[in-house]
Amino acid sequence: MDGVNVASAGQNLNPGPLPLAQNLNTMSELIQFLSIQSQPNRKNRPTRHQVEIWLRVAHTGYGKQVTVHWQADAAWSQSSADYSHRDSDGAEFWRARFSVKLRPRSHCPGLTFACRTSLGAAEYWDNNQGQDYYHHWREGWRIHPDLSWLRLPAPPRLGDGQTWLSVHIALNPETYPGVRPTLHWSADGWRTQRRAEARLLRDIHPRLQIWRARLKIGVAFRIEYAIAYTRGRNIEWDNNRGRNYRLQRKPLAVMILNLHCYQEDQQDAKFSRIAQAINELDVDVVCLQEAAEPWNHGHGEWNLNAANIINQRLPRPFHIAYDWSHLGFEQYREGVAILSRYPLRHIDAGYVSDSADPYDIHSRKVITARLRVPYIGEVQVFSVHLSWWENGFANQFRRLAAWSDSLNQTPLQGILLCGDFNISADSAAYRLVTQDFGYRDQYLTADRQGSPAAYREDDAHWPHAQGDAYRIDYIFSPPANRLNAAAARPLFTDHDYGRVSDHPGYLFTFVPA
C-alpha cells in the first residue's frame, strides 16, 4: 500500500501534511461555513427553494446562538441553526434549514449569505472576509470555496442494529482532477486495517462531486478511519487534524447514588427528580444504596420501596434487583438495589460483614447481577454499601474482592463495584483497595466533568478531608477489567438536578478498553 503509514495499536495514522485549504487556515477559527445544498420545489414552477447549510462552530460555551443571515430577491432575513453533534476534536456541527420563496417572475439567480455565532455580548462572523458568500440556484450543492474536499457531516454515533456505515465525501474535481477517495479504517485500534474504495455517486457540476464509501462494521463497538485522496502515486490525507475520525456505539452509562434511607425533606419529589435524571441522561444501570422500605415487622413493603418507586416513575421501568441488610433509622429495611435497562441474570446477594444480624447497622449485604450490554459484552455489576474502616471495612472488602474474583473465572468484559464505600480517597482503606488489591478508581481514569461534591463537611469520620479526597462513593474495578470509564461527573448537586440526598450521585460512561 504505497504511501500509507500504519501506526501501532492505539495510535493514529500518520498521513503527513494536509493542503492549506483543507486545514481551513483562511477561515474563522470560531465559525466556519462548510456546505450548502438547495433544492427547488418543482410543483408548478420552482419559486421556492429548500436550503440546508452546515457550519462548524467552536465550543465557546453553552447558550450560544448560531444564525445564518441571507438575502435572495428581497430584504435580509435570518434563520437559526440547530446543534447536530460534536466532532472528536471538540468542535460542534450546526445545521440551518430554511425555505426561500421568490416573488412571481423573479429572476434572482441565487442566495447571498453569511454566518454568525454569539454568546452574550461577543459575536463572531464567517462572511467570506467581508464579501459574503454567494450560492447560485443551479449549483444545487457546493462546499466552501477554500475546500478541496469535505467529509459531509454525520453524527458520531453508530446506531443500534447498524452493521454498515456510509461515508459521503464532497470533492472539488477542478482543484484535484482525477482524485479518488479511499477510506483506511479499523475496528480494533489499528491492530488490523481495512480499506474501502469510494464510488462516485453524482457529478453535480464542474466544481463538485459526491462520493460514497461503505464500511461493513458488523457488531464493532467503535471504528476509526482516515481518508486518502489518491492521484497517480501521490496521496494526500484527511485524518481529522491528526485525530482520525472516530465513531462508536452508545457507551454504558452507570449512575451511583446513596438515597439517605427516606430521611430527605420533600422525599417524594426527590424520587421523581431522580427518575427524571435517569431518563434524561439515558442511564443504563443504576446502583442505589440506602434504598429503604418500611420495616413492617421485618417483612418490608415493596410498594413503598425507594428503588421500586423510582423505577416505576421511569417512562419504561427497568429490570430491578433488591435486597436488604439491616434495620435503618429504627423503622426501615435498608438495602441495596440494581436497576438495569438490560435483563439482569445470575442475581445474587450476600453479607460481606462479620455480622449478619439485621439489627446491627454494620451488617452489610451486597447485591450483584450480570448483564449483557449490546456491542460491549458481559458485565458483572455490584451495588455496594460498606462500613467505616473502624467498623470492619477491611474484612468486608476482602470478602467482596474474593467474591468478585470468583465470578471473573468466566469470560467477562468488566466487573464494576459501585456504591458507597465509606472511605475517603486519602485513607488507609483507599490504599488497601487500590494498592494492596490493585483495584482501579474509575473516577480517576475518566475524563472528569466538574469537581466532586461533598455535603457532610462536618462528618466526624474524616473532618480534615477536602475536595477530591472527600469522595466516599466510587466505582472500583479489578486490574484485569476490560472496561474503562470514558467520562464521569457528579450529579444531584446544587447546579445539576439539585440535591436529593446527603450524598451526591455520580454518572459514569464506560467503553471497551
pLDDT in tens, 232-265: 888 889 988 888 999 999 999 999 999 999 999 9
Give residue-wise pLDDT tens across range 477-491.
Answer: 999 889 999 999 999
Structure confidence by residue, pLDDT tens digits, 58-96: 988 888 999 999 999 888 999 999 999 887 677 899 999
Residues 6+ apart with CB under 8 A from 353: 325, 362, 363, 364, 365, 387, 392, 395, 396
Three cell numbers, residue 281? 441522561
> Furthest-apart CA pair in the chain: how many Å?
89
Report percent pLDDT > 70 for the chain: 90
For 14-34, how does the pLDDT look when each residue is reduced to its tens digit (9 = 90+)?
333 333 233 333 345 799 999
Question: In this structure, are residues 55 and 66 in contact, taking their beta carbons and an 8 Å threshold?
Answer: yes
Write down the pLDDT at residue 17. 33
What's the average model confidence in pLDDT over 397-418?
92
**pLDDT for 454 beyond 50:** yes
pLDDT at 187: 95
Say what the alpha-carbon torsion angle 215, 218, 221, 226 is, to the nearest 10 degrees: -10
Q: What is the torsion angle, in degrees rounded to the nearest 10, for the CA atoms of residue 471, residue 475, residue 481 and residue 487?
A: -80
Burial 233-262 (b: 16+ CB within 10 A, else e): eebbbbbbeeebbebbbbbbbbbbbbbbbb
Residue that has been written with the C-alpha cell 449478619 in this structure: 356
What's the chain's average pLDDT?
Answer: 88
Share of the chain residues as helix, strand and coil, in percent rounded to the nearest 5: 15, 45, 45
Nearest in space to 128 (alpha carbons), one of 141, 100, 151, 147: 147
pLDDT digits 0-9 by tens, 34-55: 999 998 876 656 578 999 999 9
Average pLDDT over residues 263-278: 97
Q: Which residues contact 28 (CB under 8 A, 6 or more apart)?
A: 124, 125, 126
Strand partners, 122: 119
> What is the model's pTM?
0.83
The confidence band for 376, taking pLDDT boundaries of 50, 70 and 90, is very high
Identify the three-state secondary structure at position 309. Answer: helix
Domain architecture of the chain: domains with CATH: 31-143 (2.60.40.2440), 151-248 (2.60.40.2440), 252-512 (3.60.10.10)
**What mean pLDDT do residues 354-370 have?**
96
Joined together, the cell numbers standing for residue 299 give: 417483612
pLDDT at 43: 64
Is 330 buried (19+), middle (13-18) or exposed (0-12) by CB count in 10 A? exposed
